[in-house]
A and B are shown apart, each in its own frame.
Chain A
Amino acid sequence: MPVVQDLAFWILSVVAIAAALGVVLVKDLFRSALLLAVVFISVAGFFVLMSAEFLAVVQVLIYVGAISVLFIFGIMLTRNVREGNVPNRLQIPAVMCASLLLVGMIAAAINTDWRPIPEAAAQMVDAAQTQSVAGATVGGPGAGYGEQDTGLAELLIGDFVLPFEAVSLLLLAALIGGLALARSRGS
C-alpha cells in the first residue's frame, strides 16, 4: 500500500526533523537527550519503510537502548545541568566542523545516484533479510536454512571479516581502557 507508506514517511520525517531541531534548540540538556532518542526511533522507522527490519531493530537496540542511556548517564554526572549549554571557547571550531559536515553530507546526497533498486536485486535483499543473522550459518529443524546460507552473517564472517575483527579489537581496547581509568589508583 504505497499511500500508507507515503503517509508513514511524511509523519516520520516531520517527527524526525522536529525532534532534531529540538535537540539543538531546547535549553534543558536532559530533554535534548530524550529528543535525540526520538530522532533515533524515527530513523528506525525509515529503516522499516525500506523493509530493513533487522537494521531498524538494531538501531533501536543500540542507539535508544545503549547510546541514549549513556548520554543520560553522562548528563546525570554533570554539574550545573540546569544552566543548559553554557557557551565556551570551542564555539567557533564547533561551528566550522558542523558546517564542513553539512557541506559534505549535502554533496554526498546530491551526488548519489538515487535509483530504486531493480526488482531482482530487491528480491535478493529480501531473501538476505529473511535469513536472520545467526540463522544464516546454522541449520535447524523446521527452518531448513542450512543450504541457502547468504545474508548478513555470510558477509560479516566472509568478505568483511577483517573490519569486523578490527572493530571487535577496538571495542576490547576501549573496554580495557575504561577499566583502567575506572580502577581507583593503588588498588
Chain B
Amino acid sequence: MSCQLASDSILYANGIYRLVYEIVGVVLPCWVAYAIAGLVFAFILVNAVLLGAAVITWGERRVLGRFQNRVGPNRWGPFGLFQPVADLVKLLTKEDLRPEGSDRVVFSLVPVLMVAPLILMTAVVPFARNTALASLNVGVLFILAVSSITSVAIFMAGWSSNNRYAMFGAARAVAVLISYEIPVVLSLLGVVMVAASMSLGTIVEAQALPFFLVQPLAFLVFMAGMSAELNRSPFDVAEAESEIIAGYHTEYSGVRFALIQAAEFGGVGVVAAIAATLFLGGWSGPWSEYLGWLWFLIKTGIIVFLFIWFRATYPRLRIDQIMAFSWKFLLPLAMVNLVVVTLEVFLLRGDDGVLTHTDLAIMAAINLAVTVIAIAVFGNLIKDRVTFRTRQPQQVVVPGVSTIEVS
C-alpha cells in the first residue's frame, strides 16, 4: 500500500512533509502516515528552537565579548562552540530547588508554558517555499496571539515563587509586554496591508522589495518593540540584576532554570526568524529555489546579530523611560507608518488591487523620508522625558523636625 498526497493539497509542496508521508505510507495506513509526517515535522521544529537557543547563547557571549574587547568563552571545542553543552550539563546536575510556601503545581508548569508558545510560533514560519508546518491564513495574528500567552506564564512564575523580587519582576515584565504589544501590532498591520494577506507564506511572496525598505519605520518599531518584549537590554528592567536579583525567575534553578533560559534565547531566535520572514523577505533570494532555507538562516542570523548589537550598545533604561519610549515614541511612529502606508496603498494600487514592483519602490522612497522626519520630530518631542534628568530635591519643613528632603 502506498499513499500519495493529492497534488492540489497544500501539503504537497512541502518537501519534508511529503517525503516522510510517502516513505511511511509504503508500510503503514495513510492516516498513520499523515500523523507521523506531522509529528516528524513538529519534532524538527522543537529541536530547531532548542538548538537555536543553544547556538544563540554561545553566539551572544562570543559577540558580546568582541564588543567589550574581551575573548568570551573559547575553551571547549572550536571557538568554544561546545560551551552550551557544558552549561547544560552544569545546570542539569544542579539541585532543583523549590521555595517554601510556593504553589507547587503552578511553579512547575511555568518552564513548560514559557517554551511552548515559542514552538507554536515556529509552526507558521515558512522555512522555504511552502515549507511550514501549518500555513494558516491568519499567521501573523496567530503569532501575536500565541506570544501573548507568555505574559500569563511570567505572572505565574512571579506569583508562585512566593518572593517579593519575583513578583516585582513579573509585574514589570508584564507591564512592558502589554505596552509594547500595541506598537508592534500596529507596525505589523502596515506589513499585512501591503502584502494583502496575513499568511506568512504570502507575505514572503509579496516582498518583491523587502519590507524593511518599503516600511523602514515599521521595521524599526518592530525591532525596538520586540527587544522590549523579549526582556532584552536596554529594556531588561524585569530582570535588572542590580535592583531585583533576577526578576520573575529568581527562584528557579536546575532544569527549570535551563528551560527558562532556553525560552529566553530561543525567543530571540524565533522572533528573529519572524522578523526575517516579515521584513527581510524570508526564504526568497537569488540562485536556486532549493537554497531558500539558507537565505532564511542567513537573514535570521542577521537579525539575531542586530539584537545582540542593541544589547551591547545601550545602557539599561528606567521603567518610566521604557513606558515613555513605548507610549510617546513608538506608538506615534507606528500610527504615522500606518496612516502613510494606508494612503500609499490606496493611491498606488492598480485597478486589480495589485501593487507592482515600481509601486513598492515609490513607497520605499516616500517612507524613507517619512521615517527620518517622524523620528526627528517625535524624538525631539520626548527628548526631555527620556534623557536622564536629576530632580531638584524639594525642601519640606516639618515643625519640630530638622529639614528633610523629598525627591
Contact = CB atoms under 8 A, between A and B. Distances in A.
Our verdict on whether A and B bind, yes or no, reads yes
Interface of A: 1, 28, 30-31, 34, 37, 53-54, 57-58, 60-61, 64-66, 68-69, 72-73, 76, 129-130, 132-135, 138-147
B152 A135 contact: no
Interface of B: 31, 103, 105-106, 136-138, 141-142, 144-146, 148-149, 151-152, 155-156, 159, 167, 171, 174, 178, 181, 189, 192-199, 202, 205-206, 208, 345-346, 349-350, 352-357, 360
B354 A58 contact: no
A27 B144 CA distance: 32
Contacts of A138: 193, 196, 345-346, 349, 353
Given A57-B141, A146-B354, A139 B171 contact: no
Contacts of A31: 103, 105-106
Nearest to A143: B196
A95 B263 CA distance: 44
B106 A34 contact: yes
Contacts, number: 136
Contacts of A64: 145, 148-149, 152
Nearest to B181: A65
B165 to A, nearest CB: 15
B245 to A, nearest CB: 19
Contacts of B137: 53, 129-130, 132
B195 A143 contact: yes
B148 A61 contact: yes
Contact of A134 (B174, B181, B193, B349): B193
B155 A69 contact: yes
Nearest to A149: B353
Given A34-B106, A142-B202, 5 more contacts: A30-B159, A64-B152, A69-B152, A135-B198, A140-B353
Contacts of B174: 69, 73
B27 to A, nearest CB: 20
A141 B208 contact: yes
A65 B141 CA distance: 12
A64 B155 CA distance: 12
Given A31-B103, A60-B145, A69 B178 contact: yes
A140 B151 contact: no
B interface SS class: helix
B203 to A, nearest CB: 9
Contacts of A72: 152, 155, 159
Contact of A60 (B106, B149, B155, B181): B149
Nearest to B201: A142
B142 A139 contact: no
Contacts of B142: 53, 57
Given A76-B159, A129-B137, A139-B349, A145 B148 contact: no
A135 B345 CA distance: 12
B192 A65 contact: no
Most B CB atoms within 10 A — which of A31, A34, A72, A134?
A134
Contact of A34 (B145, B156, B167, B355): B156
A140 B197 contact: yes
Contacts of B144: 61
26 contacts: A1-B31, A34-B106, A34-B152, A60-B146, A60-B148, A61-B148, A66-B178, A68-B152, A72-B152, A72-B155, A132-B137, A134-B196, A135-B195, A135-B198, A139-B196, A139-B352, A139-B354, A140-B193, A140-B354, A141-B195, A141-B196, A141-B354, A141-B357, A142-B195, A143-B195, A143-B354
Contact of A143 (B31, B148, B202, B350): B202
Contacts of B141: 54, 57-58, 61, 132
